[in-house]
Structure 1
Amino acid sequence: MSTYRDQRSLPVPDGLDGMRLDQAVSRLLGFSRTAAAALVDAGDALVDGVTRPNSHKVKAGSWLEVTLPAPVAAPSVVPQAVPGLRVVHADDDIVVVDKPVGVAAHPSPGWTGPTVIGGLAAIGHTIATSGAAERQGVVHRLDVGTTGIMVVAKSESAYSALKRAFKYREVDKQYHAVVQGHLDPLRGTIDAPIDRHPTHDYRWAVVSDGKPSVTHYDTIEAFPAASLLQVRLETGRTHQIRVHFSTLRHPCVGDITYGADPTLSARLGLSRQWLHARALSFVHPGTGEQVTFVSDYPADLDQALDVLRD
């Protein structure tokens, strides 16, 4: 058995009766399914004092003893030049960037690629110290495979003001997306709760007990095989646009993770989802004025549109 720091002992509640052991550990302790399965495989999750396989069906009232791993140290920010990262605006309170594809917002466990925060540090921008060490100054995020406008707080007052503005939905977040097929109706709202996918750790899904998630869309242009949409987010859940349109069976073109047609993706030359953070509007935390920042499509998305129009 591995040596870890902490241990939890608790009974299996009635609601988990008959559930797989790895899933029960995941539900009870808030681990991902993969992490829970790893604990069970390592012999660190006992049922009534006995090691069991992940497939073991637990019974209500059985006693679980789970030995927890030591906390993983938070990844640190390493200044690193990021090709293609463009500073659109910078002042004492904020820095607005146009994020290229393949760049994460901030460091995270398992990510070894470039980050917006590392890129800003490399060119001398001092970011607010509020927030977790690896996410200091970050008030919202874009997926690694999503390009476009992103704002980062430089002052502590800006961090507080922007976090509040995002929380209370006072920021206008406009995206453009190309999805497969044609939406019916052409303009509408998707109101469906989102949380982690019940079986795939790296994916999110519409689930009945998820967090409220609201997406507004309007068709800009229709092609034979796809549609260009303007999308406005009322909420800001992880993968929200990708999950919502995939659930409607109109996944973002190129988004193989969420069910896009790989043949169409290859024809368009896309190796990621056609999704771009087009514009961001908010009240500037320093001046109190309404500001708007806009990003043009990058080359790969522009090229895909040209192919669709041919």
Structure 2
Amino acid sequence: MEKVIQTINEEHKGERLDKVLSSVNNEWSRSQVQLWMQEGNVVVNGQKVKSSYKCSVGDVIEISIPDPEELDVVPETMDLEIFYEDSDVLVVNKPKGMVVHPAPGHTTGTLVNGLMAHCKDLSGINGVLRPGIVHRIDKDTSGLLMVAKNDLAHESLVNQLVAKTVTRKYQAIVHGVIPHDYGTIDAPLARDPKDRQSMTVVDNGKHAVTHFQVMERFKDFTLVECQLETGRTHQIRVHMKYIGFPLAGDPKYGPRKTLDIGGQALHAGVLGFNHPRTNEYLEFEAPVPEYFVELLEFLRNNR
């Protein structure tokens, strides 16, 4: 069990303890902190307190973080669409609606379950729940992912992501008609303090840059190609909302009245990287899924 100690300063004087703790660490949700407090894993000056406890300057908070739950991830045979595979790396086209990796309470039906049945050699850097996973896309986003089959490949691909040399292009359908043909959104992202399950633009967030190009305009929508310079959680979805053109179908960041397509219209269509062993540049392109094609036809017929 990991122990973390925080001392309350003037900035957090008078604030609720659960709010303070969820704000100092982006990985801790407010509900997670409240659960730890109910279980007695958070003490203030050596005493157990309620989550509504109001902090005072100098309070010493000790958080005992429970060890992560050990989960048995079972291989599941799936009809995966493999675009490329060798002894080091694999490129797979993830369908809309599939979760990338298991989590507590959701241990089956994920891409990782399918990958474990497809091949036995996946890198172990991310542990039992995320073997081979170098980067992720959201459940309702379709498209290409690179998977590392050994630790050498994993480290190389992660380093390429950090160096911003990986090509990642997405197609998206957004609300509204974007008047300009090109644009760059440079706006830092972090957890929304009002909703820890969402991201938002904040001054002290992590650097995030999205480039976009208009591909086609419709009556009330626009088809764009977005290229990631950085890869923050929900980056395209939040950035397009930030400039006033949220993704169609997006239940989290879209308008209340949007298209009923089972999630955001977003497809990771182009993925390029240097092979971790040969350094040869490889690039792959996956066509948009059928629902995306049908939506485009609908929009073209209703200009």
The residue that corresponds to 1:265 in the other structure is: 259
Matches within 5 A, 1:1-310: 10-28=6-24, 31-42=28-39, 44-47=41-44, 52-66=49-63, 68-83=64-79, 85-262=80-257, 264-266=258-260, 270-310=261-301
- The 1:274/1:47 distance shift into structure 2, 3 A limit, reads same
- The 1:309/1:25 distance shift into structure 2, 3 A limit, reads same
- How far does residue 282 in structure 1 lie from its aligned partner after superposition? 1.5
- How far does residue 77 in structure 1 lie from its aligned partner after superposition? 3.2
Secondary structure of the corresponding residue to residue 104 of structure 1: coil
Runs of at least 5 residues in structure 2 that lack an aligned partner in the other structure: none
Q: Distance in 2 between matches of 1:155 and 1:55?
A: 46
- The 1:280/1:54 distance shift into structure 2, 3 A limit, reads same
- The 1:69/1:282 distance shift into structure 2, 3 A limit, reads closer
Task: Work out whether residues 74 and 108 of structure 1, in 8 Å CA contact, stay in contact via their aligned partners in 2.
Answer: no
* Segment drifting more, 248-257 vs 38-47: 38-47
- The 1:75/1:149 distance shift into structure 2, 3 A limit, reads same
Secondary structure of the corresponding residue to residue 83 of structure 2: strand
Secondary structure of the corresponding residue to residue 213 of structure 2: strand
Q: Distance in 1 between matches of 2:40 and 2:123?
A: 43
* TM-score normalized with structure 1 length: 0.87
Task: Work out whether residues 89 and 97 of structure 1, in 8 Å CA contact, stay in contact via their aligned partners in 2.
Answer: yes
Task: Work out whether residues 98 and 150 of structure 1, in 8 Å CA contact, stay in contact via their aligned partners in 2.
Answer: yes
Secondary structure of the corresponding residue to residue 257 of structure 1: coil
Which residue identity does 2:269 align to in structure 1?
R
Q: Distance in 2 between matches of 1:157 and 1:63?
A: 42
Consecutive aligned runs of 4 or more in structure 1 exceeding 6 Å deviation: none
* Segment drifting more, 195-204 vs 46-55: 46-55
Identity of aligned residues (%): 34
Q: Distance in 1 between matches of 2:296 and 2:71?
A: 37
Task: Work out whether residues 41 and 65 of structure 2, in 8 Å CA contact, stay in contact via their aligned partners in 1.
Answer: no
* Segment drifting more, 23-32 vs 241-250: 23-32
Runs of at least 5 residues in structure 1 that lack an aligned partner in the other structure: none
Which residue identity does 1:247 align to in structure 2?
Y
Secondary structure of the corresponding residue to residue 217 of structure 1: strand
Secondary structure of the corresponding residue to residue 202 of structure 1: strand
Q: Distance in 2 between matches of 1:126 and 1:65?
A: 40
Q: Distance in 2 between matches of 1:156 and 1:54?
A: 41
* Segment drifting more, 6-15 vs 249-258: 6-15
Cα shift readout 1:196-215 (whole Å, capped 9, x = no counterpart): 12121221111111110000
Task: Work out whether residues 125 and 131 of structure 2, in 8 Å CA contact, stay in contact via their aligned partners in 1.
Answer: yes
Q: Distance in 2 between matches of 1:113 and 1:203?
A: 24
* Segment drifting more, 221-230 vs 105-114: 105-114
* TM-score normalized with structure 2 length: 0.89
- How far does residue 259 in structure 1 lie from its aligned partner after superposition? 2.7
Task: Work out whether residues 102 and 114 of structure 1, in 8 Å CA contact, stay in contact via their aligned partners in 2.
Answer: no
Secondary structure of the corresponding residue to residue 87 of structure 1: strand
Q: Distance in 2 between matches of 1:8 and 1:150?
A: 35
Secondary structure of the corresponding residue to residue 170 of structure 2: strand
Q: Distance in 1 between matches of 2:101 and 2:43?
A: 36
